[in-house]
Structure 1
Amino acid sequence: MTAFFAAEPEEAAALREALGAEEALQAPVPLHRGRGVLVAETGVGKVAAAMAVAHVLTRFAPEASFFLGVAGALDPSLKALDLLLAEQAVQWDVDLTPFGRLPGETALGVRFFPSDPALLARVEEAAGRLGLPHRLGVVATGDRFLADPKEAQGLRERFGAQAVEMEGAAALMVAFRFRHPMALVRAVTDGAGEGAALDFQAFLREASRRLGLLARALVY
């Protein structure tokens, strides 16, 4: 069984429709099952994502997982609806620097949590087959919607990140602790600067539709 995670209701609905996941299951988050797949709507933020991923991995033990959703671009070369395939993700708002840690470095001693390379290769192949513009990169995750151009530039410089969102690094951290293969994929909806909230809403539906197509190509 393959598990798919998404934070926003629109994202999760697109995944359920594309994957035929219609059977609602009892769970602490909206969770639906289809033929060989699970789709979980985690809710927004790092804690919500971590809780949902831990629940699904513990209860269902899927063979592999994908966390799909939208993000704001930090790299100006990324255009709306481009896919960023996250080789790794960092929690940009974790700060243990008074204890000698680097910015974003967790108490585990890990700063960047990786996507599974084999799963990421599957995503890259599927995106190419569908003709969806995509590239590999780094995602920065934090518990705040970023809408300040100076902050966005600072994240790009500090972490080498191409996109910013609110769940991915937390989900990959759980997968890392569970030794579970997971890949993180983001579709760009905004530029993480002024007007980010408006751009986010404008592109959310189409980005979710494309992620649904990608999810279907990954399993069927």
Structure 2
Amino acid sequence: MKLIIGAMHEELQDSIAYFNLTKVENEKFLIYKNDEIMFCITGVGLVNSAAQLAYILTKYEIEWIINIGTSGSCDDSLKQGDVVLIDKVYNSVADATAFGYAYGQVPRMPKYYETNKTNITNKIQFEKIKNIASSDIFIHSLDQVNLFVNKIEDKASVLDMECFAYAQTAYLFDKAFSVIKIVSDVVGKTDANNIQFNEFIKIASKEILKMLKKIL
């Protein structure tokens, strides 16, 4: 079974309706499924994301995890509405450098998690392939970008509060993991953020459905 996972119901609501999914859990975890695919809405934050994905992977047989949704960016080459295939996933607030680890590396774990891009690119071609950095901080200023994101050894262009938790959980459970993000705003680039988020997310939900029709 393929699992589509994301933070917000608004991002996936058009896809949930289109694929005619049944809500199977609605207490601590919001899960929809049919015989072939499952959608999970985890809510925001690293702990919510890790806990809910771990719960699913211990209860259901999942072969491929796809995180798809909206994310911010700190890359001037990107603009609102750009669709980005994620390559590497970093943690922008882990700091064990005093023990010889790279900034962003959780001790005794990989420096980053590389996503499965082949499963996606076999069906959709992407012009933009970027890295993502996650934290429990809503990064909305250039000062925050410099303080957290720019300390990572590699360039991280996309920002969110969930993806690293999904990636590390998928790694621990040895599951294929892919990520597609739609840029909702660019930090420090006000002229690129023309549509307010409450309206933009409705547009993004329809774009997500278009992509999932091709992938699934």
Specify if TM > 0.5.
Answer: yes
Cα distance change, pair 199–101 in 1 and its aligned pair in 2 (3 A): farther
**Mapped contact 1:67–1:168 kept (Cα < 8 A):** yes
Work out the CA distance in 2 between the residues paired with 1:98 and 1:200.
Answer: 39
Amino acid of the residue matched to residue 203 of structure 2? Answer: E
- 2:203 matched to which residue of 1? 206
Q: CA deviation at 1:156?
A: 4.5
Work out the CA distance in 1 between the residues paired with 2:196 and 2:137.
Answer: 16
SS where residue 164 of structure 1 aligns?
A: strand
Q: CA deviation at 1:83?
A: 1.2
SS where residue 173 of structure 1 aligns?
A: helix
- TM-score norm. by structure 1 comes to 0.87
Aligned alpha-carbon RMSD (Å): 2.1
Amino acid of the residue matched to residue 55 of structure 1? Answer: Y
Q: Gaps (5+ residues) in structure 2?
A: none
- TM-score norm. by structure 2 comes to 0.88
- The structure with more helix, counted as a fraction of residues: 1
SS where residue 26 of structure 1 aligns?
A: strand
- 1:43 matched to which residue of 2? 43
- 4+ residue runs of structure 1 moved beyond 4 angstroms? none
- 2:68 matched to which residue of 1? 68
Work out the CA distance in 2 between the residues paired with 1:6 and 1:202.
Answer: 18
Cα distance change, pair 14–93 in 1 and its aligned pair in 2 (3 A): farther
Give CA deviations for 1:157-204 in whole Å, capped at 9, x if unaligned. Answer: 6340111111111101110111100101111000134767x8433422
- 2:213 matched to which residue of 1? 216
- 2:141 matched to which residue of 1? 148
- 2:30 matched to which residue of 1? 30
Q: CA deviation at 1:71?
A: 0.8
Q: Gaps (5+ residues) in structure 1?
A: none
Give CA deviations for 1:66-113 in whole Å, capped at 9, x if unaligned. Answer: 011111111111111111111111010111122221110111231211
1:138 aligns with 2:135: no
Q: CA deviation at 1:16?
A: 0.7
Work out the CA distance in 2 between the residues paired with 1:153 and 1:215.
Answer: 34
**Mapped contact 1:156–1:162 kept (Cα < 8 A):** no
- 2:106 matched to which residue of 1? 106
- 2:94 matched to which residue of 1? 94
Work out the CA distance in 2 between the residues paired with 1:167 and 1:193.
Answer: 22
Amino acid of the residue matched to residue 139 of structure 1? Answer: I
Work out the CA distance in 1 between the residues paired with 2:110 and 2:14.
Answer: 33
Percent identity of equivalent pairs? 20
**Mapped contact 1:92–1:141 kept (Cα < 8 A):** yes
Number of residue pairs matched? 210
Q: CA deviation at 1:57?
A: 1.4
